[in-house]
């Protein structure tokens, strides 16, 4: 981080994300019913809730893919809905994305895929990885090391396990130096052991680098294990928003109920 001091101070003190009475409607379908939320720099938020609760919609409001029908969404000191295309592109360079489908190129190696995250470029240079500056190649290797996959760097991604592929995707995202990471069900297609390994990796990186994470999760037990704070969504409302370590049994049951969509 080489931010000038005043900027660094502002970044530390202002929330990463503020939702102010946000309503989102698609036609007659009201998906978010006037929700408020503040997320502070460095927090790891787990967004839990049943399918159709509005988690992906919320994440799309944060990256500017959707605009709120009412209310305001502020992300990293900007309001995506009011950004020009250019400002939105700029904002998105500060946001890392992790998806359920890892979005890797299977026939390329782990290292090549990570390099593709450099400078937001999503295509390989015509003449391969050696045309990338040495410094970037070193960073890519370093990032693979940080996710525990340096030994697999020359392996094609389609020969890696699901959990390994998601960790490559995280290493690729790290090339961006994001201040905020939005992860939409990043472990939905993984088995429990791989899920934990991916989430623990993300958690460790966020603690080391200080980036904020908003991660939607299908399984509440995973949310309880890795997050700092749980926001439970049900029918477009936040039915619980608490630090994870103070969330007790009855509340956990309530979250589970919300999760089942009872």
Point out which residues bind ligand ADP (CB under 6 A): 26, 29, 31, 49, 51-57
Evaluate whether 55 touches 233 at the Cβ level (below 8 Å): yes
Measured from the CB of residue 94, what is the shortest distance to Mg ion in angstroms? Answer: 23
Measured from the CB of residue 132, what is the shortest distance to ligand ADP in angstroms? Answer: 36
- Binding partner at 52 among Mg ion, ligand ADP, none, C-beta below 5 to 8 Å by kind: ligand ADP
Nearest to 16 by CA among 211, 169, 217, 187: 211
6, 26, 48 from 33: Cα distances, Å: 36, 12, 16
Q: Site for Mg ion (CB under 5 A): how many residues?
A: 2
Evaluate whether 33 touches 69 at the Cβ level (below 8 Å): no
* Closer residue to ligand ADP, CB minimum distance, 49 or 117: 49
The secondary structure of 37-78 as a DSSP string is EEE-TT-EEEEE--TTSSHHHHHHHHTTSS--SEEEEEETTB
Measured from the CB of residue 244, what is the shortest distance to Mg ion in angstroms? Answer: 21
* Closer residue to Mg ion, CB minimum distance, 31 or 171: 31
At residue 232, the 3 state secondary structure works out as strand
- Binding partner at 54 among ligand ADP, Mg ion, none, C-beta below 5 to 8 Å by kind: ligand ADP
Q: Report the C-alpha dihedral over residues 76, 80, 82, 84, rounded to 10 degrees.
A: 100
Helix (H) or strand (E) holding 90: helix 85-93
* Closer residue to ligand ADP, CB minimum distance, 174 or 183: 183
* Closer residue to ligand ADP, CB minimum distance, 49 or 64: 49
- CA pseudo-torsion sign 240, 246, 249, 250: negative
d(CA 215, CA 202): 10
* Closer residue to ligand ADP, CB minimum distance, 47 or 168: 47
Tokens 């940080």 locate to 146
* Closer residue to ligand ADP, CB minimum distance, 54 or 96: 54
- Binding partner at 201 among Mg ion, ligand ADP, none, C-beta below 5 to 8 Å by kind: none
SS3 percent helix, strand, coil of the chain, rounded to 5, is: 45, 25, 30
* Start-end of H helices in 134-237: 134-146, 162-174, 192-209, 220-226
Q: Which residue is nearest to Mg ion (CB)?
A: 56
* Closer residue to ligand ADP, CB minimum distance, 31 or 190: 31
- Which residues, 28 to 57, sit near Mg ion by CB under 5 A? 55-56
- Binding partner at 230 among Mg ion, ligand ADP, none, C-beta below 5 to 8 Å by kind: none
As a residue count, the chain comes to 262
Measured from the CB of residue 112, what is the shortest distance to ligand ADP in angstroms? Answer: 31
Measured from the CB of residue 225, what is the shortest distance to ligand ADP in angstroms? Answer: 20
Measured from the CB of residue 65, what is the shortest distance to ligand ADP in angstroms? Answer: 9
Measured from the CB of residue 47, what is the shortest distance to ligand ADP in angstroms? Answer: 8
In the complex, the residues that contact Mg ion under the rule CB under 5 A are: 55-56
């Amino acid at each position: 981080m080489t931010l000038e001091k005043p900027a660094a101070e502002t970044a530390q003190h202002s929330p990463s994300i503020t939702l102010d009475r946000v309503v989102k409607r698609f036609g007659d379908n009201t998906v978010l019913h006037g929700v408020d939320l503040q997320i502070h720099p460095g927090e790891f938020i787990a967004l839990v809730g049943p399918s159709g609760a509005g988690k992906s919609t919320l994440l799309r409001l944060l990256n500017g893919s959707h605009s709120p029908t009412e209310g305001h969404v502020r992300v990293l000191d900007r309001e995506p809905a009011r950004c020009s295309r250019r400002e939105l592109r700029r904002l998105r360079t500060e946001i890392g994305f992790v998806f359920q489908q890892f979005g890797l190129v299977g026939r390329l190696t782990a290292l090549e895929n990570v390099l593709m995250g450099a400078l937001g470029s999503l295509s390989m240079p015509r003449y391969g990885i050696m045309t990338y500056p040495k410094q970037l190649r070193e960073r890519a290797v370093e990032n693979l090391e940080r996710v525990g996959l340096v030994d697999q760097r020359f392996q094609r991604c389609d020969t890696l396990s699901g959990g390994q592929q998601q960790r490559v995707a995280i290493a690729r995202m790290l090339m961006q130096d994001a201040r905020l990471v939005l992860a939409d069900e990043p472990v939905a297609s993984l088995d429990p052991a791989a899920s934990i390994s991916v989430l623990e990796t993300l958690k460790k990186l966020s603690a080391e680098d200080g980036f904020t994470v908003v991660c939607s999760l299908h399984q509440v037990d995973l949310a309880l294990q890795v997050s700092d704070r749980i926001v439970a969504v049900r029918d477009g409302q936040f039915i619980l928003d608490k630090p994870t370590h103070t969330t007790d049994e009855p509340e956990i049951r309530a979250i589970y109920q919300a999760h089942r969509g009872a």
